[in-house]
Homo-oligomer: A and B are copies of this chain.
Amino acid sequence: MRKIAESTVRRLSLYLRFLEEFEEQGAKTVSSEALASRGGTTAAQVRKDLSFFGSFGKRGLGYQVPALITQLREILGLTRRYKVVVVGAGKIGSALVQYRGFRDRGFDLLAIYDNDPKKIGRQWDALVVRDVAHLEKDLQREPADIAAVVTPADSAQPVADRLVKCGVTAILNFAPAQLQVPDHVTVKTVNLVLELEALSYIIASRE
């Protein structure tokens, strides 16, 4: 499979979201201009992104909405389901577990873990918070495709090390730490405070 730049993958995710909305509204076709205006890009960029995958709109007709949705879902790996575990039953962990978008996009939550005896055993939606001591045993029985690390900063690396040892190769990191992982493991970091500080730095450096 050809390697696609991360920025392209992000635009494809956005196009897919817009196409699904167009489909809900009953649209059968969509122009590259309409996709571009929703995606904050140009029609030429949309055509370039999509032609890369052999998808060409018809002049005057545009793209077939359902066919393009199917194709984008295949490219983005969304035609299968992914098993996800969450380590850390704090506020962000709770928001994740309650986030309906997860299931809708094919991400199934297997379990949520914590090391705090006050949290272990609590019911969170359909899940019960499990003791993180059981992580290895559980993952051996039912491997996860993706792990979300939602621990405090100083626990993030040890937890990531344990996950990698258990065969997890994709990590979504919410902890304010940069995780070191082997080359075959992918980490995506989501950090609100870092984004805010990137803004405050820009505001301060303007002055």
A residues at B contact (CB < 8 Å):
1, 3-4, 6, 9-11, 13-14, 16-18, 21, 38-41, 75-78, 80, 82, 91-92, 95-96, 98-99, 101-102, 105-107, 145-146, 153-154, 157, 169-170, 172, 176-180, 186, 188, 190, 192-206
Contacts and interface: CB of A to CB of B under 8 A. Distances in A.
Interface residues of A, dominant DSSP: helix
Contacts of A4: 201, 205
Contact of A99 (B21, B106, B192): B192
Q: Which of A77, A188, A190, A196 has the most CB of B within 10 A?
A: A196
B105 A205 contact: no
Given A14-B178, A40-B177, A170 B199 contact: yes
Nearest to A78: B200
A77 B200 contact: yes
Given A21-B153, A77-B202, A107-B196, 18 more contacts: A9-B197, A9-B198, A17-B153, A21-B154, A38-B153, A39-B177, A41-B178, A80-B204, A82-B203, A92-B95, A101-B192, A101-B193, A105-B197, A106-B200, A169-B206, A170-B202, A172-B199, A188-B195
